[in-house]
Copies of this chain bind each other. A is one copy, B any other.
Amino acid sequence: METRELRYCAADAGELHYGRAAQGPGTAQPPLSRAIRQLERRLGVTLLERTSRTVTLTEAGSVLLREGRAALDAVDAASRRTRRAALSATGHPGLVLVTKAGASAELLSKLLDAYAAEPGAVAVDVLLCGIGEQERLLRDGRADVALLHRPFDSTVGFDAEELCTEGQVAVLPAGHPLAGRAHLRMADVAAVSGLPLPRWPCRDGAYPDGPGPEVRDHAQLLQLIALGRAVAVLPESSRAVLRPDVTAVPVLDAPTVTTLIAWPPHSRSRALAGLVRAATRL
């Protein structure tokens, strides 16, 4: 199987429309149509059920979509990491660390300081990304290492070390009746009428149905909270980055959040090992 075929197939299975799908890989509709037909013949499998009006994924097609995307990420990672390995040989041995914007800010700066103080430390580029994007960046080689947060992020498929565990706080508008309490329970937060929990986008960018407002990043979220349109439950450490017009109250029975440092399996870079060592020593 060639990556071209995988790319075509992924585009088509994603769009379920040959014309639009062809624009992604930058080709025309007939080559795409032929390529998928040929791939189906070679595998002996029907990937797409097509009538002259509609295209639907078969069971096998959805497997190929999922596995194929992972494979394409692996191919991209091979090329990116090779290029970066060559760069680092010529004097620019950098690491790219990715984390969610707004999360673990203090931990991150301590980590960067601690690592920079080590002998042989290399430059670390920090990449701030949106919710759930770390996984992809780590898998396709755009990042070397990530800070993840259990239970929100999955460490599946990566190597990881736990760094710290913390409780969560409810973030409320400053003037809210509950804002004066010493602590809350999840039931209290859930029962706040008029302050629904916000909805975060799924991995495909779509939002689940529900009552809360749609949010995409921390700034949006905090603004909505300050406006009295939402309430959120966040790790304690995010207190450090809260605006003055919102208040944080510990939630005793919220699940604890574990911050981890994660990297692709079989990474054998000395710089990465040093960074992980610095992190676990914090």
Interface residues of A (CB under 8 A from B): 1-4, 6, 43-47, 58-61, 63-64, 66-68, 70-71, 74-75, 77-79, 81-83, 85-86, 88-89, 141, 156-159, 265-266, 268
- What B residues does A2 contact at CB under 8 A? 2-4
Partner of A1, one of B1, B3, B64, B67: B3
Shortest Cβ distance from residue A223 to the other chain B in the assembled complex, whole angstroms: 34
Please, could you name 8 A-B residue pairs with CB atoms under 8 Å apart, sorted by A?
A59-B85, A60-B89, A63-B81, A63-B85, A64-B85, A67-B141, A70-B78, A157-B265
* Residue pair A45, B157 in contact (C-beta under 8 Å): no
* Residue pair B74, A86 in contact (C-beta under 8 Å): no
Docked CA distance A66–B267 (Å): 9
* Residue pair B64, A78 in contact (C-beta under 8 Å): yes
Docked CA distance A159–B155 (Å): 9
- What B residues does A58 contact at CB under 8 A? 86, 89
* Residue pair A265, B75 in contact (C-beta under 8 Å): no
- What B residues does A157 contact at CB under 8 A? 157-159, 265-266
Residue in A74, A77, A78 whose Cβ sees the most chain B Cβ within 10 Å: A78
Partner of A68, one of B4, B47, B78: B78
Docked CA distance A46–B83 (Å): 9
